[in-house]
Chain A
Amino acid sequence: MSLVKLTNVKKYYHNDSNMVRAADDVSLKIEKGEFTVLAGPSGSGKTTLLNLIGGLDRPDSGEIWVAGQKLSEKSQKDLSRIRRGKIGFIFQAYNLVPVLTAEENAEFVLMLNGIPPKKRKEKVLAILKDMGMEGLEHRKPGEMSGGQQQRIAVARAMVTEPDIILADEPTANLDSESSVNLLNLMRTFNETKGMTFLFSSHDERVIHLAKRVVHLRDGKIESDTEKIS
């Protein structure tokens, strides 16, 4: 069974007079180990789709399965549990907790999952080491660059070893060099640890680094191309 499976998913918004089809009869499968980008112009439905897969939003119709769970049958409480257990999130604006250090931010979800402090520290330090971020673990977000903060956000998503990491425009706030670096880091994790990534972007250089490109337009899948690298 696919890791993520969407069948005939619809999400419509009704603005003042017209209706917006943010997800218009989308069917999509993501397999374990993919490194896939959702591409498309602004307003094409990338965020909508990621929110639906992440269980942050519910579709008007259609079915969504993530890691063997049918999301439409789940309560808010269950969805919250699925998010902290099976999914990692990376956001455009990093969204770290400003009063916590890099290390504390990265271990937040482990803490929610009841992992003991020593074990948390071990895991986080190992990831930070993999990222070449040793020595930054006691910095607060305000004391780090955007690229460094986003790496901590990647660490926060990675450290629980989720089934999939969802990232909505993770590079939109970064300069092009940091963007490529971040993508390379994600891709390394994808290749060395088999971590599945689904991210969105409209930056050609970033899209270029994905293994599979799903193009959206007006809530529909316009094209779906796999690259043999």
Chain B
Amino acid sequence: MDFIEIVKLAWKNLWRHRIRTFITVLAMAGSLFLAISLVNMAKGSYSKMIDQGVRSGSGHIGVYQKGYVKDRLAEQSFPMDNLLKKIQNISGVKAVLPHLKFSALAQSAYDSRGSLLFGLKASQEHSINPYIQKLSEGRFLMDSDKRKAVVGSGLAKELRIAPGKSFIITLQDKAGELQSEKLRVVGILQTGIKELDNSMVMVNLPEAQRISGYIGQVHELSVILHSAFLQGSVLPVIQSLLSRKDNLVALGWQQAMPNLRNAIQYDYTSLRVILLLLVTIVGIGIINTFLMSVLERTREFGTLMAIGTPPSFLRWLVITEASFTGLLGVVLGWIGGSVATYYLVTRGLNLAFILSDGQEFGGVFFDPIIRASWNIPNMISLSIFLFIICIGASLYPAWKAAKIEPVQALK
């Protein structure tokens, strides 16, 4: 059979009902456009959330004592000594941030509140942790600062303290004794995450170590990579470094931040369900259109069969017509989706008007401007999926065309 002739005839048939073809193509293009923009938008916001979560929390990879992620006990610390340097030398690693964290009581002349004493390396953290760029007042810590703290905005409000004012922090030290220290506020942190803003007390790592008595110790080494894609190659290297220290583990952010991972998974799953519903509805619509286009040509197809056209010719004709429709829909949808993605990548979408101050998703601060990211493999698979749906929608009409009885059709 001559496929070129089928293709030619199918192309001509496509323009028989321009409006109908146009509407069918538009329905397909529209759903692909939506799918591409929504998925690229979602992926863009996920990677931003992951990035922010990673930078402010566990890192792409976190090194902990076994059980720390679950229990968060003060004594689950470990000496950082040369481990930090070794990890820093692995290629792909951008920074290793040591963290030491304690529950503590913060007291001012007015009030007292439970808080989180967070020891960190100010200069390193400053360039990476996005929260620190959210100071509402004052400045961030400097490495040389002693007895200075950056305090969460909620906590500062409760204690009625501001830059220049001091407060007392009290915690249980390594020996089990209560230790107090007077700290002076240098800056107020406002992340938008209530949990952090209401409890955070950031101090330099040596200060935290000195107050707590955990000299040279950390709870977490937060490893920041040049790109999230490097996680798969760097993680095993770190794990092999830890193989002789059997009480330490290296975890990917997915394990260290299960809330974020679950939130993303849930969000992406619901997006896919919605898209699947959309495509199913479009698919049913085009089955109907293709079927109509076959039924109204019953006489024509009957004639062609009478003069000796094999039924398979007509079957392939209908499938080829559908392929053209699908191809046009995919091309148009791809163009539309790309334009939308380009806009959403460069300009982003400002959701500030929807989100008030609770800009949080899976425990991670959420920038109101979300940007899409290009996901070419995703765009390709969405297009292929839609094209297959289109071909699938033509199978029954094609079968119907091949089943036409010439004697009946010619009456």
Contact = CB atoms under 8 A, between A and B. Distances in A.
Contacts of A100: 9, 12
B32 interface: no
Given A51-B407, A95-B299, A95-B300, A111 B307 contact: no
Given A80-B305, A84-B308, A114 B2 contact: yes
Contacts of A112: 2, 308-310, 313
Given A56-B407, A112-B313, A114-B2, A83 B306 contact: yes
A163 to B, nearest CB: 13
A108 B2 CA distance: 11
Q: Which of A57, A80, A87, A109 has the most CB of B within 10 A?
A: A80
B308 A91 contact: no
A54 B313 contact: no
* Among all A-B residue pairs, the 7 with the closest Cβ atoms: A84-B308, A83-B308, A95-B303, A99-B12, A57-B407, A56-B406, A56-B407
A85 interface: yes
B308 A109 contact: yes
B93 interface: no
Contacts of A95: 299-300, 303, 410
B407 A99 contact: no
Nearest to B5: A111
18 contacts: A56-B406, A77-B310, A80-B308, A81-B308, A88-B307, A89-B307, A91-B306, A93-B299, A95-B410, A97-B300, A97-B304, A99-B12, A109-B307, A111-B2, A111-B5, A112-B308, A112-B313, A156-B307
A80 B307 CA distance: 8
A98 interface: yes
Q: Which of B12, B303, B307 has the most CB of A within 10 A?
A: B307
A91 B406 contact: no
Given A84-B308, A99-B15, 16 more contacts: A57-B407, A80-B308, A83-B306, A87-B308, A91-B306, A95-B303, A97-B300, A98-B300, A99-B16, A108-B304, A108-B307, A108-B309, A109-B307, A111-B5, A112-B2, A112-B313
A94 B171 CA distance: 98
Nearest to B12: A99
A135 B5 CA distance: 23
B13 interface: yes
Interface of A: 51, 54, 56-57, 77, 80-85, 87-89, 91, 93, 95, 97-100, 108-109, 111-112, 114, 156-157
Nearest to B303: A95
Contacts of B407: 51, 56-57
A80 B310 CA distance: 6
Contacts of A57: 407
A57 B302 CA distance: 13
A75 B401 CA distance: 19
User: Is chain B's binding surface mostly helix, strand, loop or mixed?
Assistant: helix
For chain B, give the interface size range. Answer: 20 to 34
A84 B303 CA distance: 12
A109 B308 CA distance: 7
B316 to A, nearest CB: 13
Interface in B286-331: 299-300, 303-311, 313
A11 to B, nearest CB: 11
B306 A54 contact: yes
Contact of A99 (B9, B299, B406, B410): B9
A193 to B, nearest CB: 19
A156 B309 CA distance: 13
A51 B409 CA distance: 12
B12 A85 contact: no
A81 B313 CA distance: 13
Contacts of A93: 299
A80 B5 CA distance: 19
A82 B407 CA distance: 16
Given A56-B407, A95-B303, A85 B308 contact: yes
Contact of B309 (A51, A84, A87): A84
A84 B310 CA distance: 9
Contacts of B300: 95, 97-98
A84 B307 CA distance: 6
B306 A56 contact: yes
Contacts of B303: 91, 95
A206 B311 CA distance: 35
B347 to A, nearest CB: 45
B307 A83 contact: yes
Contacts of B410: 56, 91, 95
B398 to A, nearest CB: 17
Contacts of A109: 307-308
Nearest to B15: A99
A109 B410 CA distance: 18
B385 to A, nearest CB: 31
Q: Which of B2, B13, B300, B303 has the most CB of A within 10 A?
A: B303
